Structure 1
Amino acid sequence: MLTNQLAQTYAQAIYEIAADKGMLDEVQSQLETIQETVSGHHDLNALLYHPLIPPQAKKETVTKIFTGELADFVSNFLLLLIDKRRETLLHAIISEYVKIANQTRNIAVAEVTTAKPLTDSQRDALTAKLSKVTGSQIILKLHVDEQILGGVVVKIGEKLIDGSIVRQLKSLKTALLSSDQTAV
Protein backbone atom coordinates (compact mmCIF):
# COMPACT_ATOMS: atom_id res chain seq x y z
CA MET A 1 0.00 0.00 0.00
CA LEU A 2 2.78 2.42 0.95
CA THR A 3 4.59 1.59 -2.29
CA ASN A 4 1.50 2.47 -4.32
CA GLN A 5 1.03 5.74 -2.43
CA LEU A 6 4.67 6.68 -2.96
CA ALA A 7 4.41 5.86 -6.67
CA GLN A 8 1.27 8.00 -6.94
CA THR A 9 2.96 10.89 -5.12
CA TYR A 10 6.03 10.82 -7.37
CA ALA A 11 3.88 10.38 -10.48
CA GLN A 12 1.71 13.33 -9.51
CA ALA A 13 4.80 15.47 -8.95
CA ILE A 14 6.35 14.71 -12.35
CA TYR A 15 2.93 15.08 -13.98
CA GLU A 16 2.44 18.57 -12.51
CA ILE A 17 5.84 19.70 -13.75
CA ALA A 18 5.16 18.25 -17.21
CA ALA A 19 1.71 19.89 -17.31
CA ASP A 20 3.16 23.27 -16.28
CA LYS A 21 5.69 23.02 -19.10
CA GLY A 22 3.11 21.74 -21.61
CA MET A 23 5.12 18.56 -22.08
CA LEU A 24 2.70 15.77 -21.10
CA ASP A 25 3.24 13.74 -24.27
CA GLU A 26 7.00 14.29 -24.38
CA VAL A 27 7.45 13.31 -20.74
CA GLN A 28 5.30 10.22 -21.17
CA SER A 29 7.41 9.22 -24.16
CA GLN A 30 10.62 9.83 -22.20
CA LEU A 31 9.38 7.84 -19.19
CA GLU A 32 8.35 4.97 -21.47
CA THR A 33 11.80 5.09 -23.10
CA ILE A 34 13.39 4.80 -19.65
CA GLN A 35 11.15 1.87 -18.80
CA GLU A 36 11.82 0.07 -22.10
CA THR A 37 15.56 0.66 -21.83
CA VAL A 38 15.78 -0.61 -18.25
CA SER A 39 13.49 -3.58 -18.92
CA GLY A 40 15.22 -4.46 -22.16
CA HIS A 41 18.75 -4.61 -20.79
CA HIS A 42 19.32 -7.25 -18.13
CA ASP A 43 22.59 -5.75 -16.89
CA LEU A 44 21.13 -2.26 -16.53
CA ASN A 45 18.08 -3.68 -14.77
CA ALA A 46 20.30 -5.63 -12.36
CA LEU A 47 22.51 -2.61 -11.68
CA LEU A 48 19.66 -0.18 -11.14
CA TYR A 49 17.71 -2.41 -8.76
CA HIS A 50 20.58 -4.00 -6.83
CA PRO A 51 20.49 -2.67 -3.26
CA LEU A 52 24.25 -2.97 -2.67
CA ILE A 53 25.35 -0.89 -5.65
CA PRO A 54 26.04 2.66 -4.48
CA PRO A 55 23.70 5.38 -5.74
CA GLN A 56 26.61 7.28 -7.28
CA ALA A 57 27.46 4.36 -9.58
CA LYS A 58 23.82 4.05 -10.60
CA LYS A 59 23.58 7.79 -11.26
CA GLU A 60 26.73 7.79 -13.40
CA THR A 61 25.44 4.89 -15.49
CA VAL A 62 21.98 6.40 -15.93
CA THR A 63 23.48 9.78 -16.84
CA LYS A 64 25.71 8.20 -19.52
CA ILE A 65 22.82 6.25 -21.02
CA PHE A 66 20.22 9.02 -21.07
CA THR A 67 22.31 12.16 -21.70
CA GLY A 68 20.56 14.22 -24.36
CA GLU A 69 17.55 11.88 -24.39
CA LEU A 70 15.59 13.37 -21.49
CA ALA A 71 14.35 16.79 -20.48
CA ASP A 72 16.46 18.16 -17.62
CA PHE A 73 13.65 17.80 -15.08
CA VAL A 74 13.00 14.17 -16.14
CA SER A 75 16.70 13.40 -15.80
CA ASN A 76 16.79 15.14 -12.41
CA PHE A 77 13.70 13.20 -11.38
CA LEU A 78 15.40 9.90 -12.22
CA LEU A 79 18.53 10.92 -10.30
CA LEU A 80 16.38 11.99 -7.33
CA LEU A 81 14.74 8.55 -7.26
CA ILE A 82 18.19 6.98 -7.10
CA ASP A 83 19.35 9.40 -4.36
CA LYS A 84 16.26 8.60 -2.30
CA ARG A 85 16.72 4.87 -3.01
CA ARG A 86 13.30 4.76 -4.65
CA GLU A 87 14.44 3.42 -8.02
CA THR A 88 12.47 0.22 -7.37
CA LEU A 89 9.33 2.35 -7.73
CA LEU A 90 10.23 3.41 -11.27
CA HIS A 91 7.83 1.11 -13.13
CA ALA A 92 4.96 1.86 -10.73
CA ILE A 93 5.61 5.61 -11.03
CA ILE A 94 5.59 5.46 -14.83
CA SER A 95 2.38 3.43 -14.79
CA GLU A 96 0.74 5.96 -12.46
CA TYR A 97 1.95 8.86 -14.61
CA VAL A 98 0.36 7.30 -17.69
CA LYS A 99 -2.91 6.80 -15.79
CA ILE A 100 -2.96 10.44 -14.63
CA ALA A 101 -2.04 11.79 -18.07
CA ASN A 102 -4.63 9.59 -19.78
CA GLN A 103 -7.31 10.69 -17.35
CA THR A 104 -6.50 14.33 -18.10
CA ARG A 105 -6.70 13.65 -21.84
CA ASN A 106 -9.98 11.70 -21.42
CA ILE A 107 -8.32 8.51 -22.64
CA ALA A 108 -9.28 5.09 -21.33
CA VAL A 109 -7.18 2.00 -21.85
CA ALA A 110 -9.23 -1.11 -22.60
CA GLU A 111 -7.58 -4.48 -21.99
CA VAL A 112 -9.37 -6.71 -24.50
CA THR A 113 -9.04 -10.49 -24.51
CA THR A 114 -10.42 -12.60 -27.35
CA ALA A 115 -10.01 -16.24 -28.38
CA LYS A 116 -8.71 -15.23 -31.81
CA PRO A 117 -7.11 -12.02 -33.10
CA LEU A 118 -9.60 -9.32 -34.04
CA THR A 119 -9.84 -8.09 -37.61
CA ASP A 120 -9.33 -4.40 -38.33
CA SER A 121 -13.07 -3.86 -38.72
CA GLN A 122 -13.77 -5.66 -35.42
CA ARG A 123 -11.15 -3.51 -33.65
CA ASP A 124 -12.66 -0.35 -35.11
CA ALA A 125 -16.20 -1.37 -34.17
CA LEU A 126 -15.15 -2.32 -30.63
CA THR A 127 -13.22 0.93 -30.21
CA ALA A 128 -16.22 2.97 -31.41
CA LYS A 129 -18.63 1.10 -29.12
CA LEU A 130 -16.40 1.40 -26.04
CA SER A 131 -15.79 5.08 -26.80
CA LYS A 132 -19.53 5.69 -26.99
CA VAL A 133 -20.19 3.80 -23.75
CA THR A 134 -17.36 5.43 -21.77
CA GLY A 135 -17.39 8.87 -23.34
CA SER A 136 -13.61 8.59 -23.62
CA GLN A 137 -11.12 8.07 -26.39
CA ILE A 138 -10.16 4.38 -26.24
CA ILE A 139 -6.75 2.77 -26.55
CA LEU A 140 -7.05 -0.98 -27.06
CA LYS A 141 -4.52 -3.37 -25.55
CA LEU A 142 -5.31 -6.64 -27.30
CA HIS A 143 -4.62 -10.11 -25.91
CA VAL A 144 -5.43 -13.51 -27.36
CA ASP A 145 -6.39 -16.34 -24.99
CA GLU A 146 -7.86 -19.41 -26.66
CA GLN A 147 -9.10 -20.67 -23.28
CA ILE A 148 -12.01 -18.22 -23.32
CA LEU A 149 -13.29 -20.20 -26.36
CA GLY A 150 -15.05 -17.20 -27.91
CA GLY A 151 -16.59 -13.86 -27.12
CA VAL A 152 -14.68 -11.01 -25.56
CA VAL A 153 -13.47 -9.91 -22.13
CA VAL A 154 -12.95 -6.16 -21.69
CA LYS A 155 -11.35 -4.48 -18.68
CA ILE A 156 -11.32 -0.69 -18.43
CA GLY A 157 -9.90 0.51 -15.14
CA GLU A 158 -11.73 -1.42 -12.44
CA LYS A 159 -14.66 -2.36 -14.69
CA LEU A 160 -14.80 -5.84 -16.19
CA ILE A 161 -17.15 -6.93 -18.94
CA ASP A 162 -16.93 -10.69 -19.39
CA GLY A 163 -18.71 -11.78 -22.54
CA SER A 164 -16.63 -14.93 -22.95
CA ILE A 165 -18.11 -18.27 -23.91
CA VAL A 166 -16.37 -19.82 -20.87
CA ARG A 167 -18.22 -17.48 -18.51
CA GLN A 168 -21.52 -18.14 -20.29
CA LEU A 169 -20.97 -21.90 -20.01
CA LYS A 170 -20.17 -21.59 -16.30
CA SER A 171 -23.33 -19.53 -15.78
CA LEU A 172 -25.36 -22.13 -17.66
CA LYS A 173 -23.81 -24.94 -15.60
CA THR A 174 -24.60 -23.11 -12.36
CA ALA A 175 -28.18 -22.51 -13.48
CA LEU A 176 -28.64 -26.13 -14.51
CA LEU A 177 -27.18 -27.45 -11.26
CA SER A 178 -29.28 -25.14 -9.12
CA SER A 179 -32.48 -25.95 -11.03
CA ASP A 180 -31.66 -29.69 -10.91
CA GLN A 181 -31.33 -29.60 -7.12
CA THR A 182 -34.60 -27.73 -6.66
CA ALA A 183 -36.42 -30.37 -8.71
CA VAL A 184 -35.33 -33.15 -6.32
Structure 2
Amino acid sequence: MLSNQLATTYAQAIFELAQGKNLLDQVEKELLMVEETIKAQADLATLIYHPRVPVDAKKDTIRKVFGSELTDFVCNFLLLLVDKRRETVIEGIIREYVILANKARNIVEAEVTTALPLSQAEQEQLGMKLSKVTGQVVAIKTVVDPAIIGGVVVKIGDKLIDGSIVRQLKAFEQALLRTEVTKIGVTS
Protein backbone atom coordinates (compact mmCIF):
# COMPACT_ATOMS: atom_id res chain seq x y z
CA MET A 1 0.00 0.00 0.00
CA LEU A 2 2.80 2.39 0.92
CA SER A 3 4.57 1.76 -2.39
CA ASN A 4 1.35 2.66 -4.27
CA GLN A 5 1.10 5.92 -2.33
CA LEU A 6 4.76 6.68 -3.00
CA ALA A 7 4.35 5.91 -6.70
CA THR A 8 1.31 8.18 -6.92
CA THR A 9 3.06 11.01 -5.07
CA TYR A 10 6.22 10.89 -7.19
CA ALA A 11 4.23 10.44 -10.40
CA GLN A 12 2.11 13.47 -9.54
CA ALA A 13 5.24 15.52 -8.87
CA ILE A 14 7.00 14.67 -12.13
CA PHE A 15 3.72 15.02 -14.03
CA GLU A 16 3.13 18.55 -12.75
CA LEU A 17 6.72 19.56 -13.52
CA ALA A 18 6.58 17.99 -17.00
CA GLN A 19 3.25 19.65 -17.72
CA GLY A 20 4.64 23.00 -16.60
CA LYS A 21 7.60 22.59 -18.96
CA ASN A 22 5.33 21.29 -21.77
CA LEU A 23 7.21 17.97 -21.79
CA LEU A 24 4.41 15.48 -21.10
CA ASP A 25 4.97 13.39 -24.22
CA GLN A 26 8.78 13.48 -24.04
CA VAL A 27 8.86 12.49 -20.37
CA GLU A 28 6.38 9.67 -20.96
CA LYS A 29 8.42 8.35 -23.87
CA GLU A 30 11.63 8.43 -21.84
CA LEU A 31 10.08 6.84 -18.75
CA LEU A 32 8.60 4.03 -20.84
CA MET A 33 12.01 3.46 -22.44
CA VAL A 34 13.58 3.23 -18.97
CA GLU A 35 10.93 0.73 -17.89
CA GLU A 36 11.40 -1.42 -21.01
CA THR A 37 15.18 -1.40 -20.63
CA ILE A 38 15.04 -2.42 -16.97
CA LYS A 39 12.56 -5.22 -17.74
CA ALA A 40 14.65 -6.47 -20.67
CA GLN A 41 17.94 -6.55 -18.76
CA ALA A 42 17.75 -8.68 -15.63
CA ASP A 43 21.25 -7.69 -14.48
CA LEU A 44 20.36 -4.02 -14.68
CA ALA A 45 17.15 -4.60 -12.73
CA THR A 46 19.05 -6.51 -10.05
CA LEU A 47 21.63 -3.74 -9.72
CA ILE A 48 19.07 -0.94 -9.54
CA TYR A 49 16.65 -2.67 -7.18
CA HIS A 50 19.08 -4.47 -4.84
CA PRO A 51 19.21 -2.71 -1.47
CA ARG A 52 22.89 -3.55 -0.84
CA VAL A 53 24.20 -1.90 -4.00
CA PRO A 54 25.63 1.50 -3.02
CA VAL A 55 23.71 4.59 -4.11
CA ASP A 56 26.71 5.95 -6.03
CA ALA A 57 27.02 2.71 -8.04
CA LYS A 58 23.33 2.87 -8.94
CA LYS A 59 23.60 6.51 -9.98
CA ASP A 60 26.70 5.83 -12.09
CA THR A 61 24.92 2.93 -13.79
CA ILE A 62 21.87 5.07 -14.56
CA ARG A 63 24.09 7.78 -16.04
CA LYS A 64 26.03 5.26 -18.16
CA VAL A 65 23.02 3.26 -19.38
CA PHE A 66 20.53 6.08 -19.90
CA GLY A 67 22.53 9.32 -19.82
CA SER A 68 22.67 10.01 -23.55
CA GLU A 69 19.08 8.86 -24.16
CA LEU A 70 17.36 10.92 -21.48
CA THR A 71 16.81 14.61 -20.98
CA ASP A 72 18.46 16.02 -17.87
CA PHE A 73 14.96 16.40 -16.44
CA VAL A 74 14.21 12.65 -16.47
CA CYS A 75 17.76 11.60 -15.63
CA ASN A 76 17.79 13.89 -12.58
CA PHE A 77 14.41 12.52 -11.53
CA LEU A 78 15.78 8.95 -11.61
CA LEU A 79 18.86 10.02 -9.67
CA LEU A 80 16.61 11.69 -7.08
CA LEU A 81 14.68 8.44 -6.69
CA VAL A 82 17.95 6.60 -6.02
CA ASP A 83 19.07 9.27 -3.53
CA LYS A 84 15.76 8.91 -1.69
CA ARG A 85 16.00 5.08 -1.89
CA ARG A 86 12.76 4.95 -3.90
CA GLU A 87 14.11 3.11 -6.94
CA THR A 88 11.94 0.09 -6.16
CA VAL A 89 8.82 2.06 -7.07
CA ILE A 90 10.04 3.18 -10.51
CA GLU A 91 7.60 0.91 -12.36
CA GLY A 92 4.67 2.10 -10.25
CA ILE A 93 5.66 5.73 -10.80
CA ILE A 94 5.78 5.18 -14.55
CA ARG A 95 2.40 3.44 -14.55
CA GLU A 96 0.84 6.30 -12.57
CA TYR A 97 2.53 8.92 -14.75
CA VAL A 98 1.05 7.37 -17.90
CA ILE A 99 -2.41 7.42 -16.30
CA LEU A 100 -2.03 11.10 -15.38
CA ALA A 101 -0.68 12.05 -18.82
CA ASN A 102 -3.50 10.19 -20.55
CA LYS A 103 -6.06 11.87 -18.32
CA ALA A 104 -4.61 15.27 -19.27
CA ARG A 105 -4.96 14.31 -22.95
CA ASN A 106 -8.53 12.99 -22.39
CA ILE A 107 -7.36 9.45 -23.17
CA VAL A 108 -8.54 6.42 -21.24
CA GLU A 109 -6.92 3.00 -21.46
CA ALA A 110 -9.07 -0.04 -22.09
CA GLU A 111 -7.86 -3.59 -21.61
CA VAL A 112 -9.75 -5.76 -24.09
CA THR A 113 -9.61 -9.53 -23.63
CA THR A 114 -10.72 -11.84 -26.42
CA ALA A 115 -10.35 -15.56 -27.13
CA LEU A 116 -8.72 -14.83 -30.50
CA PRO A 117 -6.60 -11.87 -31.62
CA LEU A 118 -8.53 -8.86 -32.95
CA SER A 119 -7.68 -7.47 -36.37
CA GLN A 120 -6.61 -3.84 -36.62
CA ALA A 121 -10.00 -2.98 -38.14
CA GLU A 122 -11.83 -4.68 -35.25
CA GLN A 123 -9.68 -2.81 -32.72
CA GLU A 124 -10.42 0.51 -34.41
CA GLN A 125 -14.15 -0.22 -34.57
CA LEU A 126 -14.24 -1.25 -30.90
CA GLY A 127 -12.18 1.83 -29.99
CA MET A 128 -14.69 4.12 -31.73
CA LYS A 129 -17.64 2.47 -29.96
CA LEU A 130 -15.92 2.70 -26.58
CA SER A 131 -15.04 6.35 -27.28
CA LYS A 132 -18.73 7.11 -27.85
CA VAL A 133 -19.65 5.41 -24.57
CA THR A 134 -16.91 7.04 -22.48
CA GLY A 135 -16.74 10.41 -24.19
CA GLN A 136 -12.96 10.05 -24.27
CA VAL A 137 -10.35 8.81 -26.70
CA VAL A 138 -9.79 5.13 -25.92
CA ALA A 139 -6.37 3.51 -26.17
CA ILE A 140 -6.86 -0.24 -26.48
CA LYS A 141 -4.50 -2.79 -25.00
CA THR A 142 -5.43 -6.26 -26.23
CA VAL A 143 -5.04 -9.51 -24.32
CA VAL A 144 -5.72 -12.92 -25.84
CA ASP A 145 -7.14 -15.47 -23.39
CA PRO A 146 -8.64 -18.63 -24.93
CA ALA A 147 -10.21 -19.46 -21.55
CA ILE A 148 -13.02 -16.95 -22.17
CA ILE A 149 -14.10 -19.17 -25.11
CA GLY A 150 -15.58 -16.27 -27.09
CA GLY A 151 -16.98 -12.78 -26.75
CA VAL A 152 -15.08 -9.90 -25.21
CA VAL A 153 -14.15 -8.58 -21.77
CA VAL A 154 -13.45 -4.84 -21.54
CA LYS A 155 -11.87 -3.20 -18.50
CA ILE A 156 -11.77 0.60 -18.38
CA GLY A 157 -10.51 1.95 -15.09
CA ASP A 158 -12.59 0.29 -12.39
CA LYS A 159 -15.40 -0.65 -14.78
CA LEU A 160 -15.69 -4.15 -16.23
CA ILE A 161 -17.89 -5.19 -19.13
CA ASP A 162 -17.88 -8.98 -19.34
CA GLY A 163 -19.45 -10.24 -22.56
CA SER A 164 -17.52 -13.49 -22.56
CA ILE A 165 -19.07 -16.83 -23.40
CA VAL A 166 -17.59 -18.37 -20.26
CA ARG A 167 -19.40 -15.78 -18.08
CA GLN A 168 -22.66 -16.44 -19.92
CA LEU A 169 -22.24 -20.19 -19.43
CA LYS A 170 -21.58 -19.70 -15.72
CA ALA A 171 -24.66 -17.48 -15.41
CA PHE A 172 -26.73 -20.10 -17.22
CA GLU A 173 -25.35 -22.81 -14.92
CA GLN A 174 -26.26 -20.75 -11.84
CA ALA A 175 -29.77 -20.17 -13.19
CA LEU A 176 -30.20 -23.89 -13.72
CA LEU A 177 -28.97 -24.66 -10.22
CA ARG A 178 -31.43 -22.16 -8.72
CA THR A 179 -34.35 -23.58 -10.68
CA GLU A 180 -36.57 -25.83 -8.63
CA VAL A 181 -36.77 -29.27 -10.09
CA THR A 182 -40.26 -30.80 -10.03
CA LYS A 183 -41.53 -34.16 -11.06
CA ILE A 184 -43.44 -33.96 -14.28
CA GLY A 185 -46.27 -36.44 -14.46
CA VAL A 186 -47.24 -37.90 -17.81
CA THR A 187 -50.79 -39.16 -18.25
CA SER A 188 -52.28 -40.93 -21.18
Q: Structure 1 counterpart of 2:83, which letter? A: D
RMSD of the TM alignment (CA)?
1.1
User: 2: distance between equivalents of 1:67 and 1:118?
Assistant: 38
Instruction: Write the mapping of 1:1-184 to structure 2, written as runs, cut at 5 A.
Output: 1-180=1-180, 183=182
- Please state whether the residue corresponding to 1:163 is helix, strand or coil: strand
User: 1: distance between equivalents of 2:36 and 2:42?
Assistant: 11
User: 1: distance between equivalents of 2:4 and 2:67?
Assistant: 29
> Runs in 1 of length 4+ with deviation above 4 angstroms?
none
Q: Structure 1 counterpart of 2:116, which letter? A: K
Larger Rg: 2
Taking structure 2 as the reference length, the TM-score comes to 0.94
User: 2: distance between equivalents of 1:73 and 1:161?
Assistant: 39
User: 2: distance between equivalents of 1:178 and 1:85?
Assistant: 55
- Please state whether the residue corresponding to 1:68 is helix, strand or coil: coil
Identify, as 1 or 2, the structure richer in helix: 1
Deviation at 1:17, TM superposition (A): 0.8
- Please state whether the residue corresponding to 1:166 is helix, strand or coil: helix
Deviation at 1:65, TM superposition (A): 1.1
Deviation track 1:47-66 (CA, whole Å, cap 9, x = no partner) reads: 00111010000000111111
In structure 1, the gaps of 5 or more residues are none
Deviation track 1:110-149 (CA, whole Å, cap 9, x = no partner) reads: 1001011112322121111100000111111111111101
Which residue does 2:186 correspond to in 1? none
User: 2: distance between equivalents of 1:119 and 1:6?
Assistant: 38
Taking structure 1 as the reference length, the TM-score comes to 0.96
- Please state whether the residue corresponding to 2:155 is helix, strand or coil: strand
Deviation track 1:61-89 (CA, whole Å, cap 9, x = no partner) reads: 11111112112121111001001110000
